[in-house]
Homo-oligomer: A and B are copies of this chain.
Amino acid sequence: MTFSKRPTQSDVAKRAGVSRGTVSLVLNGSDTRIPISDDTRARVLQAADDLGYTPNPVAQMLAQGSNRLIGVFTYEAIFPFDRDDFFFPYLTGIQREASINDYNVLLFTRSRQIYANTMNSLLLADGSILLGASPDRAELARLCEERYPFVYIGRREVPDCAINWVANDYKIGSYHATRHLIDLGHTTIAFCGHGYALEPQHEKLAGCHRAVDEAGSIEWRVIPEDILKQPDAFMRAVRDQRITGLLCTDNNAFYTALACLHEHGLRVPEDVSVISLTSVNHSLPYPHMPSHVQLNRPNLGQVAVQTLISCISGEVTQPQQIYIPCAFIAGGTTAPRKEGR
């Protein structure tokens, strides 16, 4: 209970001298074909105005069964922004598309868990968008089983159930990034980053492999994340293996690599070309713009909401799995391989 007692529908009915049903009818002028006499209508409106009546949306939701709410749930803390600022670009698109379709947006921030003591917190929304690198697959399976409408942002596989997802097409982006290095004459290329357990990393790796396989005779290396964390080990790997092209899975790897190289006297892009396989945080003009794969997160958010709405409305019953294209942007951190290296 919050603030002062508000007038209710029956207060209005009493004052207008009609029944509650009638009040409901005139107040939401629904398309019901039942006409109401002008006199009654006027009396009701007047009474509502006198009382400052305003319907209780929760009661309306309960009676109507729908509430025009799109939920957003994330498996990662939204703050602090550990994994870059990935949340808000998606939210921008979610918000825009929800607004276009006359939905409000509910941010589930109370918990990082969907099911807690028999409660399903998402149920308040007609359907939800889920995000986060590491979902609880068991929860997703249960959600699926209960036929709750949801769309995951990012490809996620759940054993024995096909869930809806909309994902960045990292594969094609990584393919083009790798091609770019190869076209510039690089022959020893390393992939550096972490989290092979996660779907997006698989896809990046797959895209790179495809380009490498097509080219033939490329020396392909992998520098796992823990090596990247030890600057000396990292530099040894780069130097000993004569790596001239670096494909970084995320911003963290990208900026760490740049800093390491700089500190140890290797110039980018003169000595080593470096690419980020995901969107970079700062958008500066060329030549300061890094060479990177550019995601379109707002667009992805919009598509996710469109997909969700078509599930909610029942238009679509097959699981939807959609890739959103990524572009490769050649910026100032890549250059032709120097002779001699």
State the A residues within 8 Å of B (CB).
1-4, 6, 27-29, 48, 52-59, 61-62, 65-69, 78-79, 88, 91-92, 95-96, 98-99, 102-110, 115, 117-121, 123-124, 126-127, 145-149, 282, 298, 312
**Does A3 lie within 8 Å of B147, measured CB to CB?**
yes
Q: Which residue of B lies closest to A61 (CB)?
A: B58
A95 touches B107 (CB 8 A): yes
Q: Can you sample 21 A-B contacts with CB below 8 Å?
A: A1-B66, A3-B147, A6-B146, A27-B118, A28-B117, A52-B145, A53-B118, A54-B119, A54-B120, A57-B121, A57-B123, A58-B62, A58-B124, A62-B62, A68-B110, A79-B298, A103-B109, A103-B110, A104-B109, A106-B106, A107-B107
Which residue of chain B has the shortest Cβ distance to A69 in the bound complex?
Answer: B106
- Picked from B4, B52, B62, B98, the residue with its CB within 8 Å of the CB of A59 is B62
- Closest B residue to A145 by beta carbon equals B52
The chain B residue sitting closest to A88, CB to CB, is B88
How many monomers of this chain does the complex have?
A: 2
Q: How far is the CA of A340 from the CA of B54 in the complex (A)?
A: 67
Which residues in B have their C-beta under 8 angstroms from that of A4? 147
Are A110 and B119 neighbours in the complex by a CB distance under 8 Å? no
In the complex, chain B residues whose CB is within 8 Å of the CB of A99:
109-110
Q: B105 near A79 (CB under 8 angstroms)?
A: no
Give the CA-CA distance A159 to B145 in the complex, in Å.
54
Nearest-neighbor residue (CB-CB) of A1 within chain B = B65
Chain B residues lying within 8 Å of A124, measured Cβ to Cβ, are: 57-58, 104
Q: Given A2-B66, A58-B67, A62-B62, does the pair A109, B105 have CB atoms closer than 8 Å?
A: yes
- A191 and B179 CA atoms in complex are apart in Å by 52
| Neighbouring B residues of A54 by C-beta, 8 Å | 115, 118-120, 123, 146
